[in-house]
């Protein structure tokens, strides 16, 4: 009597219970669940008629549109594997990923066709190149192909350990790795999200997070599970966010901290008029307490901090609210909310361990690596057994994140191990220093990296973006840090920049900043 754990079950249920509810909003297009899932079936039928079947890869490069969302249902229900790609990468990255995963179909938004066109001859294994809008010559047109397809397809049996997606990591220090996520992984993450961050039937979700990023933190399926409405947003800017939140009565969204900073610092008049009570999930980088305080205090939104990785489908920690937190003042509550938190009920087991794989004491000070095992951990890296064995050793997935455990059991990330700055034998958390810089009223964004030092080995260098119209000197910011931190943690230099280098999901690319820090050290 058992049925496989797969997020495709959410679509079956939504079709039965919510056929006439609004499922998708994309500009002027509005689709009910009957229409949305009917389109997914037709695209499945079109792909199947062109030979796509179990285990075949279908790669897609597109922003947050209804066509992108449809791939997360149409491809997996064939037993095929969806490969959603970061559309902000270079043509060379696209070339590598296509060559690595060998898809039989490549689907692309018109913005990326020019980058793909020159490489078509390189990949004879790609049977069909599909334009999701406005097809050029020799490309299949998505809409006309879908419209001509039958309403039904031959549905294969799906196993919960089958691969549902291959999600490529950012590849900031090496070639991107293809994370193999199973149907069970995705189902578990969706259920855990709904347990800790409930969505009511009919609530409306704004797509500020890229769908390609860890499957939109599985919200491509989670919103459907709740009978909610997907409101698509192809490009994020504060004015568009404010407009859609008000016009579409948005209830919740997901965003990396850097995206939240942009939203929180939009034009005063529009920001003041934005709908209150929006619920926000933030992850992707540790948010500063100052950012959370600003979002909650000025916008009246409720922020929940979660933590995970592409390799964990992605959530493994949530900063759940506890009754005792209600006694904290705004700053104290924001400080707690900036921590990564505790295990999700559904995700599995998490520990923070030392170099001997022993758990560190829950003293809020002893640094260790986060390791996890359980229901959301990936099957491995596609065609990379060596990297898989290294990451999944001794029965645990090793994250590379350095953290402490507080006496209440809450985990707090202090850095990636590669980002910990060791100065004169002392560990300096770049995240801690960034959090202090963000409490200065003139600072909009901050990123800290280590700079080589003959005397200390390394010293911290801060890269700062000031708020529009604000002024601050390097010495002023160093004094601000000195008043709040041990002196050895104070940045030895402050570089003012117009913007910080970031990935498509808002993570700051510290390897880019390190190159600049090395140049500073040679001066």
Which domains are present in the chain?
34-179 (3.40.50.980), 236-416 (3.40.50.12780), 420-522 (3.30.300.30)
Neighbours of 20 (CB within 10 A): 9
Least confident residue range of 47-51, 323-327, 376-380, 507-511: 507-511
156 touches 53 (CB < 8 A): yes
Q: Which two tokens stand for residue 47?
A: 């792909």
Distance CA 318, CA 347 (A): 10
Distance CA 105, CA 99 (A): 12
Beta bridge partners of 404: 412
Query: Is residue 240 over pLDDT 80?
Result: yes
Distance CA 85, CA 72 (A): 12
Distance CA 377, CA 254 (A): 21
Beta bridge partners of 31: 24
Average pLDDT value for residue range 9-22? 98
Q: Is 23 exposed, middle or buried (0-12, 13-18, 19+ CB in 10 A)?
A: buried
Average pLDDT value for residue range 240-246? 96
More confident residue, 134 or 519: 134
Phi then psi for residue 442, to 5 deg, are -90, -10
Query: Is residue 195 over pLDDT 60?
Result: yes
Distance CA 77, CA 321 (A): 37
Give me the chain's average pLDDT, please: 92
Query: Is residue 448 over pLDDT 80?
Result: yes
Please give the distance of CA 469 from its chain centroid, rounded to a whole number: 31
Q: Which two tokens stand for residue 385?
A: 């057994």
- According to DSSP, the β-strands at 57-61 and 105-108 are parallel
Per-residue confidence (pLDDT) for residue 260, from 0 to 100? 87
345 touches 317 (CB < 8 A): no
Q: State the Rg of the chain over Cα.
A: 23
Query: Is residue 171 over pLDDT 70?
Result: no
Closest CA to 466 of 434, 498, 430, 492: 498
Residue 517's pLDDT band, with cuts at 50, 70 and 90, is low
Question: How would you list the strands of the sheet with 493-496, edge to edge?
Answer: 443-453, 457-466, 493-496
Query: Is residue 419 over pLDDT 90?
Result: no
Query: Is residue 505 over pLDDT 70?
Result: no
Least confident residue range of 23-27, 28-32, 282-286, 335-339: 282-286
Q: Note the helical H segments in 50-182.
A: 66-74, 91-101, 113-116, 142-148
Least confident residue range of 54-58, 170-174, 222-226, 256-260: 170-174
Closest CA to 381 of 164, 180, 83, 93: 180
Distance CA 378, CA 107 (A): 25
Query: Is residue 174 over pLDDT 80?
Result: no
Per-residue confidence (pLDDT) for residue 167, from 0 to 100? 98
Please give, one letter per residue, the 3-state secondary structure of 354-386. Answer: CCCCCECCCCCCCCEEEEEECCCCCCEECCCHH
CA atoms lying within 13 Å on the CB side of residue 237? 4
Contacts of 38 (CB under 8 A, 6+ apart): 151
Distance CA 36, CA 45 (A): 15
More confident residue, 452 or 357: 357
Q: Which two tokens stand for residue 500?
A: 């910080």
pLDDT digits (tens, 9 = 90+) for 133-169: 988 989 999 999 999 999 999 999 999 999 999 999 8
Closest CA to 189 of 73, 309, 106, 282: 309
Q: How far is CA 208 from CA 15, 257, 280, 504, in A?
A: 25, 12, 11, 12
Average pLDDT value for residue range 211-217? 96
Least confident residue range of 124-128, 200-204, 457-461: 457-461
Whether the upstream peptide bond of residue 519 has omega within 30° of 0, thus cis, is no
The maximal CA–CA distance of the chain, rounded, in angstroms, is 72
pTM of the entire structure?
0.86
Torsion, Cα 163 396 393 354, to 10 degrees, reads 150
pLDDT digits (tens, 9 = 90+) for 348-393: 999 999 999 999 999 999 999 999 999 999 999 999 999 999 999 9
Q: How far is CA 83 from CA 24, 108, 174, 424, in A?
A: 22, 12, 19, 45
Neighbours of 3 (CB within 10 A): 9
3-state class (DSSP) for residue 72: helix
Query: Is residue 322 over pLDDT 70?
Result: yes
Per-residue confidence (pLDDT) for residue 51, from 0 to 100? 97
Q: Note the helical H segments in 3-65.
A: 8-17, 33-49
Average pLDDT value for residue range 454-465? 86
Closest CA to 177 of 59, 96, 75: 96
pLDDT digits (tens, 9 = 90+) for 48-74: 999 999 999 999 999 999 999 999 999
Per-residue confidence (pLDDT) for residue 288, from 0 to 100? 77
Per-residue confidence (pLDDT) for residue 146, from 0 to 100? 97
More confident residue, 504 or 54: 54
Per-residue confidence (pLDDT) for residue 169, from 0 to 100? 87
Closest CA to 158 of 30, 5, 13, 310: 5
B/e letters for 411-429, b = 16+ CB within 10 Å, e = fewer, are bbbbbeeebbbebeeeebb
Distance CA 292, CA 331 (A): 9
Between 183-196 and 8-17, two packed helices, what is the crossing angle to 10 degrees? 60
Average pLDDT value for residue range 15-43? 98
Per-residue confidence (pLDDT) for residue 522, from 0 to 100? 42
Query: Is residue 515 over pLDDT 80?
Result: no
Per-residue confidence (pLDDT) for residue 121, from 0 to 100? 95
Average pLDDT value for residue range 404-414? 93
Per-residue confidence (pLDDT) for residue 521, from 0 to 100? 45
Per-residue confidence (pLDDT) for residue 523, from 0 to 100? 42
Least confident residue range of 21-30, 257-266, 344-353: 257-266
Distance CA 487, CA 478 (A): 10
Give the rounded percent of residues in the chain with a pLDDT score beyond 90.
74
Query: Is residue 181 over pLDDT 70?
Result: yes
Query: Is residue 173 over pLDDT 70?
Result: no
Closest CA to 216 of 62, 98, 323, 101: 62
3-state class (DSSP) for residue 19: coil
């Amino acid at each position: 009597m058992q049925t496989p754990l797969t997020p495709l079950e959410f679509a079956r249920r939504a079709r039965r219970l919510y056929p006439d509810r609004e499922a998708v909003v994309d500009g002027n297009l509005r689709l009910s669940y009957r229409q949305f899932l009917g389109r997914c079936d037709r695209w499945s039928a079109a792909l199947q008629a062109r030979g796509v079947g179990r285990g075949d890869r279908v790669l897609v490069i597109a922003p947050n549109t209804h066509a992108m969302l449809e791939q997360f249902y149409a491809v997996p229900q064939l037993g095929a594997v969806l490969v959603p790609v970061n559309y902000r990468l270079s043509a060379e990255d696209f070339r590598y990923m296509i060559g690595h995963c060998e898809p039989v179909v490549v689907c692309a938004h018109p913005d990326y066709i020019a980058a793909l066109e020159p490489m078509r001859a390189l990949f004879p294994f790609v049977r069909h190149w599909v334009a999701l809008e406005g097809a050029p010559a020799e490309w299949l047109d998505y809409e006309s192909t879908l419209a001509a397809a039958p309403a039904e397809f031959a549905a294969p049996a799906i196993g919960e350990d089958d691969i549902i997606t291959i999600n490529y990591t950012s590849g900031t220090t090496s070639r991107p790795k293809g994370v193999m996520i199973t149907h069970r992984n995705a189902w578990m993450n969706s259920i855990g999200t709904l347990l800790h961050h409930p969505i009511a039937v009919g609530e409306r979700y704004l797509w500020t997070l890229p769908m390609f990023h860890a499957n939109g933190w599985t919200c491509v399926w989670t919103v459907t599970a709740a009978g909610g409405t997907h409101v698509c947003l192809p490009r994020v800017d504060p004015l568009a966010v404010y407009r859609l939140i008000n016009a579409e009565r948005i209830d919740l969204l997901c965003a990396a901290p850097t995206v939240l900073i942009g939203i929180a610092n939009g034009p005063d008049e529009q920001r003041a008029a934005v709908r209150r009570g929006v619920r926000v999930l933030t992850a992707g980088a540790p948010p500063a307490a100052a950012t959370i305080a600003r979002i909650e205090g000025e916008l009246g939104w409720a922020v929940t901090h979660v933590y995970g990785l592409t390799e964990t489908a992605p959530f493994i920690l949530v900063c759940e609210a506890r009754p005792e937190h209600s006694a904290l003042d705004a700053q104290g509550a924001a400080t707690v909310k900036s921590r990564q938190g505790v295990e999700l009920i559904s995700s599995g087991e998490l520990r923070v361990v030392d170099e001997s794989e022993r758990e560190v004491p829950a003293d809020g000070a002893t640094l260790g690596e986060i390791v996890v095992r359980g229901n959301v951990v990936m099957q491995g890296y596609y065609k990379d057994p060596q990297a898989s064995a290294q990451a999944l050793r001794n029965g645990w997935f090793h994250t590379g994140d350095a953290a402490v455990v507080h006496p209440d059991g809450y985990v707090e990330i202090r850095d990636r191990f590669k980002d910990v700055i060791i100065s004169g034998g002392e560990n300096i958390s770049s995240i801690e220093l960034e959090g202090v810089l963000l409490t200065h009223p003139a600072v909009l964004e901050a990123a800290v990296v280590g700079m080589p030092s003959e005397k200390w080995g390394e010293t911290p260098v801060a890269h700062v973006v000031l708020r529009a119209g604000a002024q601050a000197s390097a010495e002023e910011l160093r004094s601000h840090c000195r008043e709040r931190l041990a002196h050895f943690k104070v940045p030895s230099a402050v570089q003012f920049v117009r913007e910080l280098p970031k990935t498509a999901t808002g993570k700051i690319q510290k390897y880019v900043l390190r190159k600049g820090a090395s140049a500073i050290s040679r001066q």
